[in-house]
């Protein structure tokens, strides 16, 4: 999918030079070759948005991407460090050392100049945590220093504390001393004044400021992407896109890495295709990239693989699709007008808000539900309903897709899925109420002893079977002979597969109405579909089984004591 025009080559550049999209769509090896074969490789690399260079380096592999790192700009270097060397709010010493080594190999002279000018606190913090420095006194000789100390100038003696960092730090210090001995001395003297925690906190603050421009907000701000926005209120407010976003000329290269993963041809995808203005598409692409980065921050994700990024893009597109549907149906032309008039993160919040509304509805019922008061678990509702409730009761609601997609839970990606879950929750709530009216015998969880796991189906059918057999109203399993007697009454006379006798169906409805006090129409409207499905299950499971061959070990729909 293309939602922005390729970078236009400047005067004198080959028209056949690959675009950023070409590089990111290619394999790592192919992308590297395209850059090396370009007549202006430095221009090509530096025309990449910082986010795109990050993904290109990840695809190639940092150690194999040294030719690209040598061509990258200082700002691109800084972005790589900002993403690669931090572990939450702390610098990872191993990552810092790795990237110092990579940039030293890529362009040692430029790295020294850039590092000493723009990242001196970063470098001094790493050195202070990993080396010991002593100054030779007049009455000391080199032999007086402990094993492991070395000197580059006969004045400062240095020992590297961790052998795994020895090569990189030694190389850096030698290059620094050769580059500017006075600066080397200054750095060594300043190490004793470094306040590690204060310095790291300041570096983290500066890093967050830089990344905030890309959408990587601090967690407490990033989670605002999940705040509920009402569709009607958003439409009443009119267009919310700030004037700055409408400027035709963007100040920096536009990231295309996220757009490469927009593959599901949903409403957002089709709406984008209705927009022909390149400047608008570039603005939307930048906006979309920032929103994806905000999601990454809000979810505290470590995104290092393309599939990780693809999952974030799918999530963003899914809730944008839902938001657009909530705002104005399924017309891509209307969708195109909406994404130009409203900030994408606002449309996302409308979409995500529909899931939140469903979650809140479920939680409100759940707290005072009959089955919870009976200390029954979610498994009481069967696999499908258990999965739906389990997804909605999470901190952030998820859609239960079963095992058909490999993983049982994923993000919602269509309004139809939320509607489906709404209907399921309504049915569960209605069934819960029905059971509370039919079963008025107090606590159940610790009084029913049977080999079958207890669920709403076998509980309801067992109670009805006991009524049919003239047994006591106590909620307890049937004996094997009682089970067989129930099935003899259940089936319509005739061939196989057997069907439930119409009179038995009516008897079931009469029993429900008598025990619950509800009218037939009310029961039918709320759980009629569920009850009809229950009888079909009985026919499919046991209609071809001889009554004498019924094995209580395999009877799931009625509680039985073997």
Domain ranges of the chain: 73-125+163-211, 215-415, 456-561
Q: Token pair for residue 188? A: 């060594």
**Residue 560 bridge partners (DSSP):** 478
Which strands form 150-151's sheet, in the order they lie side by side?
A: 131-135, 156-160, 150-151
Q: What mean pLDDT do residues 174-202 have?
A: 96
User: What is the predicted pLDDT for the residue at 13?
Assistant: 42
The secondary structure element, H or E, covering residue 86 is: strand 86-87
Average pLDDT, whole number, for the chain?
90
Contact partners, residue 459, CB within 8 Å, separation at least 6: 435, 439, 444, 448, 475, 559
pLDDT in tens, 504-523: 999 999 999 999 999 999 99
Sequence-ordered list of residues with C-beta below 8 angstroms from that of 249, at least 6 positions apart, any chain: 279
pLDDT at 562 (0 to 100): 74
- 437 has a pLDDT exceeding 50: yes
Neighbours of 17 (CB within 10 A): 20
The predicted-structure confidence for 206-239, as pLDDT tens digits, reads as follows: 999 999 999 999 889 999 999 999 999 998 876 6
Residue 409 has pLDDT above 60, yes or no: yes
Q: Quick count: other Cβ atoms within 10 Å of Cβ 427?
A: 18
Q: Is the pLDDT of residue 271 over 50?
A: yes
Question: What is the torsion angle, in degrees rounded to the nearest 10, for the CA atoms of residue 15, residue 20, residue 26 and residue 28?
Answer: 120
**Total H helices, total E strands in the chain:** 26, 9
Whether residue 242 has pLDDT greater than 80: no
b/e map of 404-417 (b: 16 or more CB within 10 Å)? eeeebebbbbbbeb
Instruction: Decide: helix, strand or coil at residue 283.
Output: helix
Query: Do 412 and 358 contact (CB within 8 A), yes or no?
Result: no
Residue 497, C-beta contacts closer than 8 angstroms, at least 6 positions apart: 539, 540, 543, 544
Q: Are 194 and 124 in contact (CB under 8 A)?
A: yes
What are the CA-CA distances from residue 145 to residues 26, 191, 359, 409 (Å)?
Answer: 54, 19, 67, 61
What integer is the mean pLDDT of 191-205?
A: 95
Q: What is the pLDDT of residues 301-355, one digit of tens each?
A: 988 888 999 999 999 999 999 999 999 889 999 999 999 999 999 999 999 999 9
Residue 456 predicted with pLDDT over 90: yes
Rounded to two decimals, the pTM is 0.85
Phi/psi at 128 (nearest 5 deg)?
-60, -30
Asked if residue 403 has pLDDT above 90, the reply is: no
Cα distance from N-terminal residue to C-terminal residue, the chain? 62
User: 95-110, pLDDT tens digit by residue?
Assistant: 999 999 999 999 999 9
Is the pLDDT score of 3 beyond 80? Answer: no
226 close to 298: Cβ distance less than 8 angstroms: yes
């Amino acid at each position: 999918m293309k939602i922005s025009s390729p970078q236009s080559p400047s005067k004198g550049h080959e028209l056949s030079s690959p675009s950023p999209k070409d590089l990111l769509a290619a394999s790592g090896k192919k992308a590297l070759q395209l850059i090396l074969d370009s007549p202006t490789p430095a221009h090509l690399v530096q025309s990449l948005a910082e986010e795109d260079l990050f993904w290109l380096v990840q695809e190639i592999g940092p150690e194999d991407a040294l030719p690209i790192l040598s061509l990258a700009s200082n700002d691109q270097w800084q972005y790589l460090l900002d993403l690669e060397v931090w572990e939450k709010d702390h610098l990872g010493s191993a990552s810092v050392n790795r990237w110092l080594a990579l940039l030293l190999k890529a362009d040692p002279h430029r790295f020294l100049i850039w590092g000493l000018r723009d990242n001196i606190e970063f470098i001094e913090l790493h050195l202070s945590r990993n080396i010991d420095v002593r100054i030779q006194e007049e009455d000391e000789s080199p032999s007086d220093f402990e094993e492991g100390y070395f000197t580059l100038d006969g004045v400062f003696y240095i020992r590297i504390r961790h052998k795994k960092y020895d090569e990189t730090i030694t190389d850096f210090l030698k290059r620094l001393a050769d580059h500017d001995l006075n600066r080397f001395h200054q750095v060594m003297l300043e190490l004793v004044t470094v306040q590690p925690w204060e310095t790291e906190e300041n570096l983290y603050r500066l890093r967050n400021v830089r990344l905030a421009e890309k959408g990587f907000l601090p967690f407490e701000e990033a989670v605002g992407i999940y705040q509920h926005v009402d569709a009607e209120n958003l439409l009443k407010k009119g267009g919310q896109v700030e004037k700055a976003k409408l400027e035709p000329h963007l100040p920096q290269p536009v990231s295309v890495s996220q757009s490469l993963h927009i593959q599901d041809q949903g409403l957002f995808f089709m709406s984008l295709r209705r927009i022909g203005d390149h400047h608008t598409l570039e603005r939307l692409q930048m906006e979309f990239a920032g929103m994806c980065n905000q999601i990454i921050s809000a979810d505290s994700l470590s995104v290092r693989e393309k599939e990780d990024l693809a999952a974030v893009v799918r999530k963003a597109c899914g809730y944008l699709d839902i938001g657009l549907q909530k705002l104005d149906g399924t017309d891509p032309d209307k969708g195109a007008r909406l994404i130009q008039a409203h900030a994408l993160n606002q449309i996302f919040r409308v979409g995500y808000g529909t899931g939140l509304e469903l979650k809140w509805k479920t939680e409100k019922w759940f707290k005072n539900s009959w089955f919870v008061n009976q200390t029954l678990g979610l498994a009481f509702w069967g696999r499908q309903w258990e999965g739906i409730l389990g997804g909605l009761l999470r901190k952030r609601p998820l859609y239960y897709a079963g095992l058909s997609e490999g993983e049982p839970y994923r993000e919602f990606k269509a309004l139809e899925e939320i509607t489906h879950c709404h209907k399921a929750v309504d049915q569960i709530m209605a069934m819960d109420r029905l059971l509370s009216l039919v079963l008025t015998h107090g606590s159940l969880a610790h009084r029913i002893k049977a080999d079958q796991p207890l669920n709403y189906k076998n509980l309801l059918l067992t109670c009805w079977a006991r009524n049919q057999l003239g047994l006591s109203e106590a909620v307890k399993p049937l004996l094997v002979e009682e089970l067989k007697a129930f099935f003899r009454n259940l089936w319509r006379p005739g061939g196989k597969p057997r069907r439930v006798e119409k009179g038995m169906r009516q008897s079931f409805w009469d029993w429900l109405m008598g025990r619950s006090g509800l009218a037939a129409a009310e029961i039918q409207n709320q759980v009629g579909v569920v009850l009809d499905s229950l009888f079909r299950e009985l026919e499919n499971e046991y209609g071809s089984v001889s009554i004498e061959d019924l094995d209580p070990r395999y009877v799931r729909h009625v509680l039985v004591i073997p």
